[in-house]
Structure 1
Amino acid sequence: MNEIQRFLAHAIQLEKESSRRYAELAEAMTALGNAEVADFFQQMSHYSRLHQREAMERGGFHDLPKLAADEYDWPEGSSPEAAWGPVAPDIDVLGAMALAMHGEQRSHEYYQKIADETADPEVKAMATEFADEEAEHVEQLDVWQANLSKLSAAS
């Protein structure tokens, strides 16, 4: 991907999808009665909205850019954050964390691949920045998963 506007259009869509997915996970955790994890997922949804807004501002977009489905260049044909499908109504906390982790890892890999392959220095810099942010999210989820696994094993 060698055009900054095209890259940002993808980033905006990815973050929009991420925000929606985290909101779904927060809702599921609320229904499960786990307010702490629901709050964490709400916070992650908020961060995704901030990243989306940042990408829109950087691209000078006032509205979401409109690309047809076949104009997106996604791995495996769908946004890294859309690939995990709907949240099952009976999902447990560890399952929700695993879904979130899968999305964050795919998003990190997506941005990193763009950074590694682009010839455009502006796209490279921004994709690297976004990949680094996604890596931080993976680290946050690692900590949560480790703590939840310890709690689950102690029960």
Structure 2
Amino acid sequence: MYSTLANFLAHAVALETEAGERYRELADVMEVHNNPEVAAMFARMAEFSAMHAAEVTARAGAHGPLPRLKSWEFKWETTEPPEVGDSADTHYRMTPRHALQYALANERRGWEFYNHAATHAPLPEIRDLARDFADEEAEHVRTLEHWLESTPPPDHDWADDPDPANVVD
């Protein structure tokens, strides 16, 4: 777990920052594949992640410098931070509904991460801050669930491409 508040905050900053970076990458990929609607959604998610990262970073600033952790020093349950979705869960022809489902899964994992810290961290200041962050993630989850409700499901043939990419090795 986290032995210090600074260590927990270093995890939180990395979680939020790397989520934004992944969304920016996905927005670029979707733009290249002429999927502008999903590219715009991922760009919007990148902006939200950047805003949340800035909020976490600002709160962290009050606690002094954060440790600079090496990649193997992070205590994630997965190989990447919880809000960084697996790019294998994307498709260049994915629809807005798919993008929202992808983002929702990321936010739920973020909530689980913070909720776990809020209930299991050894220090009360970590638990309190993690509870605040978990509440924010819960709000993100509710927002995405609401958006998902108003987003139509894709056609059954959404992945069909009459002119698939041809890559020559």
* Aligned mates of 1:78, 1:150 — CA distance in 2: 29
How far apart are residue 129 of structure 1 and its match?
Answer: 0.8
Q: TM-score, normalised by structure 1?
A: 0.80
SS at match of 2:78: helix
AA aligned to 1:73 is K
User: 1:75-124 CA distances to partner (integer Å, 9 max, x unpaired)?
Assistant: 13321122422543222222211111111110100000010101211111
Deviates more, 1:104-113 or 1:47-56: 47-56
* 8 Å contact from structure 2 (residues 97, 151) kept in 1: yes
* Aligned mates of 1:151, 1:3 — CA distance in 2: 46
Q: Which residue, out of 94, 102, 105, partners 1:102?
A: 105
Give 2:57's aligned residue: 56
Give 2:9's aligned residue: 8
SS at match of 2:94: coil
Instruction: Name the larger-Rg structure.
Output: 2
The alignment's C-alpha RMSD in Å is 2.8
Give 2:87's aligned residue: 85
Q: TM-score, normalised by structure 2?
A: 0.74
Give 1:72's aligned residue: 74
User: 1:51-94 CA distances to partner (integer Å, 9 max, x unpaired)?
Assistant: 22222233338998531121100013321122422543222222
* Aligned mates of 1:64, 1:16 — CA distance in 2: 14
AA aligned to 2:104 is M
Alignment of 1:5-154 (within 5 A): 5-27=6-28, 28=30, 31-34=34-37, 39-60=40-61, 66-85=68-87, 87-149=90-152
SS at match of 1:135: helix
Deviates more, 1:74-83 or 1:114-123: 74-83
* 8 Å contact from structure 1 (residues 29, 93) kept in 2: no
* Higher helix fraction (1 or 2): 1
AA aligned to 1:80 is P
* Aligned mates of 1:39, 1:62 — CA distance in 2: 36
How far apart are residue 150 of structure 1 and its match?
Answer: 6.8
AA aligned to 2:92 is P
Please list every run of at least 4 consecutive aligned residues from structure 1 whose deviation after the TM superposition is greater than 3 angstroms.
24-27, 37-44, 61-65
* Aligned mates of 1:74, 1:119 — CA distance in 2: 17
